[in-house]
Chain A
Amino acid sequence: MFDQIVPAIMVSIIAFFSVYITTPFLIRALEKRNLTVKDYNRVGGAMVPRPGGPTILIGILSSELTLYVFFPQVEILAILITTSLAFVIGIIDDKKVLGGWFKPVALVVAAIPIILLGAYDSELAFPLFGSVRIPALYLALIVIIIPITGNTINSIDVLNGVASGFMTIASFALTVSLFIIQNYEIAIASIPLGLVSLAFYKYHKFPSKIFPGDSGALTLGAMYGAIAIVGHVEIIAAVALLPAVINSFFFLSSVKRIVEHREIKSNPVTHTEDFKLMATTDKDAPVTLVRMILAVGPMTEKQVGFVIFRLALFSASLAVVTAILMGIKI
Chain B
Amino acid sequence: MREIKIIFFIVSMWLLIIAGGGLLILFTSPISIEGFITVGSLRLYYASMVKAVIAIILVVIWIYVLSKIKNWMFQKQIRH
A residues contacting B by CB (< 8 A) are 124, 126-137, 140, 235, 238-239, 242-243, 245-246, 249-250, 253-254, 279, 281, 287, 289, 291-293, 295-297, 307, 310-311, 314-315, 318, 322, 325
Smallest distance from the beta carbon of A235 to chain B beta carbons, Å? 6
Most chain A C-beta atoms within 10 Å of own C-beta, residue among B26, B56, B80:
B80
Give the nearest-CB partner of A294 in chain B.
Answer: B2
- Whether A137 and B51, one on each chain, are in contact in the complex, defined by CB atoms closer than 8 angstroms, is yes
Q: Which 4 A-B pairs have the closest CB atoms?
A: A126-B21, A137-B52, A136-B48, A295-B77
Query: What's the least CB distance linking B62 to chain A, in Å?
Result: 11
Tell me the bound Cα distance from A65 to B74 in angstroms. Answer: 46
Provide a sorted-by-A list of 25 A–B residue pairs whose CB atoms are within 8 angstroms.
A126-B18, A126-B22, A129-B18, A129-B22, A133-B48, A136-B52, A137-B51, A238-B17, A242-B10, A242-B14, A243-B10, A246-B9, A246-B13, A253-B67, A253-B70, A254-B78, A293-B2, A293-B3, A297-B2, A307-B3, A310-B3, A311-B3, A314-B10, A318-B10, A318-B11
B55 touches A296 (CB 8 A): no
Number of interface residues of B (CB under 8 A): 35
Q: A128-B22, A239-B14, A292-B6 are in contact. Are A136 and B49 (CB under 8 A)?
A: yes
Q: Point out the residue from A245, A292, A307, A318 that lies within 8 Å of B77, measured CB to CB.
A: A292
- Which chain A positions have C-beta within 8 A of B29? 130, 132
Query: What DSSP secondary structure best describes chain A's contact surface?
Result: helix
In the complex, which residues of chain A have a beta carbon less than 8 angstroms from the beta carbon of B10?
Answer: 242-243, 246, 311, 314-315, 318
In the bound complex, how far is the Cα of B13 from the Cα of A26, in angstroms? Answer: 39
Produce 1/0 per residue, B49-63, CB < 8 A to A.
Answer: 101100110000000
Find out whether the CB atom of A126 lies under 8 angstroms from the CB atom of B24: yes
Across the interface, A307 reaches (CB within 8 A) one of B2, B52, B66, namely B2
Question: Closest A-chain residue to B29, C-beta based?
Answer: A132
Q: Verify A314–B70 contact, CB threshold 8 A.
A: no
Q: Is the CB of A243 within 8 A of B6?
A: yes
Q: Bound complex: CA of A295 vs CA of B75, how far in Å? A: 11
CA distance A249 to B56 in the complex (A): 17
Which of A249, A295, A315, A322 lies in contact with B80, CB distance below 8 A? A295
Residue of A nearest to B28 (CB): A132
Complex Cα distance, B48 from A207, in Å, reads 51
